[in-house]
Amino acid sequence: MNGLRCRTWRYKTAIAACGAIAGVVALAGTASATAAPSAAKLPKPGASLITNGNFEQPGAATHEGVAPTGWKLIDLGAEKKPYDASIGAWNAKGEYPPPAGNPNKLDVAVEAFYEAGSATGLEGIGGQQTVKPGAISQANNPQITFADVANSAPEASVANWAGSGIEIVFTSGKRTGTLIYLNPWTAYESKFSGKPVDTASVKYVLGPTLKAKTWYTWKARSINSDMLKQFKLRSYTIREVRFVDWEDTTSSAKPYPNMDGYFANLAITEGRAAKKS
């Protein structure tokens, strides 16, 4: 089988399956903003605006920890050198299948497997897709939905909070920002004391707190509406889309701030024509 990893889970019982690390540790390129497409060139409502959001490619035969087509592993925030990190698509028959209840009809999900390095602070990993310049903007009235699940969370003794979700990295004129749709997680032990905090360039749309191994599906949301509410912006261009595991780490020592989450059925689609303001 392809893509099997050594899973030490340093604060839990070791798992003795070893193999090649899945995913490619590479930061995807940055796209520059360009003019939005004219209304005549916009896709039909409901058309997908991203590639392989269901993570079903490169195909059923390779759903064994292989990075999904169109997505690259990245480090986030303070994390520069994870102890171990990978993204890989799995199905129910794989070595590390998604938790029960996966809403994907083929039971395919992408895993973000993260064993933190020595850094502390806001950190994590994820899978990134760089958007073709100008391909997604407010003119598309993009709609977003996805499902995620916390498979294994860090303990409250080593992190203030942890969570998973989808990041939208955008530009608006000379401004760059990130809109994060995030589900906080329940701590492995005890209770997290903190929560995500907005900044001038990063805003969170928070969903419910996830319990371990319980899937949650976000109902479709208008990115235009969330951009207006969170950033007061009516014009923007999306540069990157990411599925992410984030945590606010307070200690890199035992029992170690490790995370393991899965994502399925990510869709960013063309909405009905946006109303002119």
Return the HEC string of the chain.
Answer: CCCCCCECCCCCCCECCCCCCCCCECCCCCCCCCCCCCHHHCCCCCCECCCCCCCCCCCHHHCEEECCCCCEEEEEECCCCCCEEEEEEECCCCCCCCCCCCCCCCCCEEEEEEECCCCCEEEEEEEEEECCCCCCEHHHCCEEEEEEEEEECCCCCCEEEEEEEEEEEEEECCEEEEEEEEEEECCCCCCCCCCCCCCCCEEEEECCCECCCCCEECCCEEHHHHHHHHHCCCCCEEEEEEEEEEEEECCCCCCCCCEEEEEEEEEEECCCCCCCC
Per-residue model confidence as pLDDT tens digits over 24-83: 333 233 333 345 555 558 899 999 999 999 999 987 655 678 999 999 999 999 999 999
What is the pLDDT, as a whole number, of residue 274?
Answer: 59
Q: Which domain holds residue 204?
A: 39-269
Main-chain dihedrals φ then ψ at residue 68, nearest 5 degrees: -65, 145
What pLDDT does residue 96 have?
93
Is 33 part of a structural domain of the chain? no
Does residue 121 surpass a pLDDT of 60? yes
CA distance 221 to 166: 12
Residue 17 falls inside a structural domain? no
For all residues of the chain together, what is the average pLDDT? 87
The CA distance from 48 to 146, in Å, is 13
Indicate if the pLDDT at residue 102 is higher than 80: yes
Least Cα distance to 145 among 274, 261, 269 occurs for: 269
241-263 pLDDT, tens digit each: 999 999 999 999 999 999 999 99
- 156 within a domain of the structure (yes/no): yes
Model confidence at 179, pLDDT cuts 50, 70, 90, reads very high
For residue 140, is it within any domain?
yes
pLDDT at 180 over 70: yes
pTM of the model: 0.86
User: Is residue 209, in this structure, part of any structural domain at all?
Assistant: yes
* Structural domain total, the chain: 1
How far is it, in rounded angstroms, from Cα 225 to Cα 229?
A: 6
Beta strand pairing call for 109-115 and 84-90: antiparallel
Q: Looking at residue 150, what is its pLDDT? A: 98
pLDDT at residue 15 is higher than 60 = no
* CATH code, domain with 177: 2.60.120.260
Q: Is the pLDDT of residue 4 over 50?
A: no
pLDDT by residue (tens digit) across 230-241?
A: 999 999 999 999
pLDDT value at residue 1: 31
Identify the pLDDT of residue 232. Answer: 98
Contact between 31 and 79 under an 8 Å Cβ cutoff? The reply is: no
Interval 180-191 mean pLDDT = 96
Q: Identify the residue with better confidence: 4 or 132.
A: 132
Report if residue 127 sits inside a domain.
yes
Q: What is the mean pLDDT of residues 223-228?
A: 98
Which of the residue ranges 80-94, 99-113, 176-190, 263-277 would you say has the lowest mean pLDDT? 263-277
Choice between 196 and 32, residue whose per-residue pLDDT is larger: 196
Average pLDDT over residues 1-30: 36
**Over 90: is that where the pLDDT of 8 sits?**
no
